Amino acid sequence: MTDLRSYRAPWWLPGGHLQTIWPTLFAQPRPSQAITLVRERWRAPDGDFVDVDHLSGAKDAPWLVVFHGLEGSSSSRYAIAFAQGALARGWRLSIPHFRGCSGELNLAPRSYHSGDFQEVGWLLARIRDRASAPVLAAGVSLGGNALLRWAEEAGSGAAEIARAVAAVSAPLDLVAAGAAIDSGINRLIYTRHFLRTMIPNALAKWQQHPGLFDRERVQRATTLREFDDAFTAPLHGFAGVDDYWTRASAKPHLHKIKIPALVVNARNDPFVPAASLPTPDEAGAMVTLWQPEQGGHVGFATNPWPGRVTAMPEAVSDWLGSILDG
C-alpha cells in the first residue's frame, strides 16, 4: 500500500508554498488529460439542483465519492487524478459539486461551507441507494472537513452509508486555518486568489435574491474572515464568522467517528498550521493520522518534471481499498 507518511517533495519544490502552488498550476494530469465523466443533475431536498459527475463501472465495483475543495470542481487536477485512478482500479466514481461550483449559479438562497455535513449526508445516502457494493468517500480541503463533520454527526449510523472515509489537507481547526490564510504572504497569494471568484459569485447570488446579505460588506471584503462574516455565515444560519468557524471545525469531534477514517495533513501546509493538527489521543480509535513533514496544501507532487499529483489520490485510494480487503 502506498503511504504518504514518508513523502518527500522533489528537490526542485522546496517549501510549503511551492509545494502548494506548483502542483495546482503546472503538474500533471492537466485538464486536457481528464477522462470523460457523465454529468447528472440531481434535485436537492430544498428544490435546488446539484450537479454530479460520474464514472460508470461494474455493478459490483466499489463506489468512490470525491468531495472537492474551496472553489474546486471535477476539473481540479486532484479530481482528475482520482478519476484516472478509479478507472484503473475498475471502481465507480462520483464527484458531486458543491452549490455554485459546477459552472452554473445554483437557485436557492444559499451557497456551501466547510461544515456542510447535511449536504454531504444527502449526497452519500443517494449514492448508497444506487450502489450494489461498498461506498467509499474522500474529501479534499474544505470537502474533507465537511466529510469528517458528516461522519462525526452520523456516528454509528455512518456505517450504513459508507465503509470508510478519507480527508486530505482539511482545515480541521477553521479558526487557526482562517487566521493563517489571512496573514502575511498567505493573504497576498491565497486569500486574494480565492476572493477573486468568491466575491463575484456572492454578488451574483445577491442579484438572484436582493437583500439576502449586506452587499457592500461583501464587496469590501479583503480577507476570508470578512467574507465569511458577511456572506457564508449569515446564508447558512450561523451567528457570525466565529460561530461558523467554531461549529464547522472537525477537529473537536474526531473522537465521535465510528467508521475507519484517514486524515492526511502535511505539516508545512500554508493554510493549516502544524500546531493546530490533532494528536492521536484527540483523534480517537477509528481515525488514522498521516502528517508528513512535506506536501503543502493538496500538493504531494512527485517526479518526473513538471511533477505529478497522482501520489495522494493513489495513496488515499490504496488505504480505502485496504479497508475493503480487511
The residues assigned a catalytic role are 141, 269, 297
With vertex at residue 93, the alpha carbon angle to CA 80 and CA 105, rounded to the nearest 5 degrees, is: 70
In DSSP terms, which residues pair with 95 in a beta bridge? 53
User: Exposure of 282 by Cβ count < 10 A (0-12 exposed, 13-18 middle, 19+ buried)?
Assistant: middle
DSSP per residue, 132-168? SS-EEEEEETHHHHHHHHHHHHHGGGGGGT-SEEEEE
Give me the count of residues in the chain.
Answer: 326
Cell of 275: 500546531
d(CA 157, CA 276): 28
Omega of the bond prior to 292 within 30 degrees of 0, cis?
no
Amino acid (one-letter) located at 197: T
C-alpha cell of residue 121 = 449526508
Phi, psi (degrees; rounded to nearest 5) at 81: -65, -40
Question: What are the CA-CA distances from residue 191 to residues 3, 7, 165, 175, 232 (Å)?
Answer: 31, 27, 28, 15, 15
CA–CA distance, 299 with 173 (Å, rounded to integer)? 20
Pairing assessment for the beta strands 49-55 and 38-43 based on DSSP bridges: antiparallel
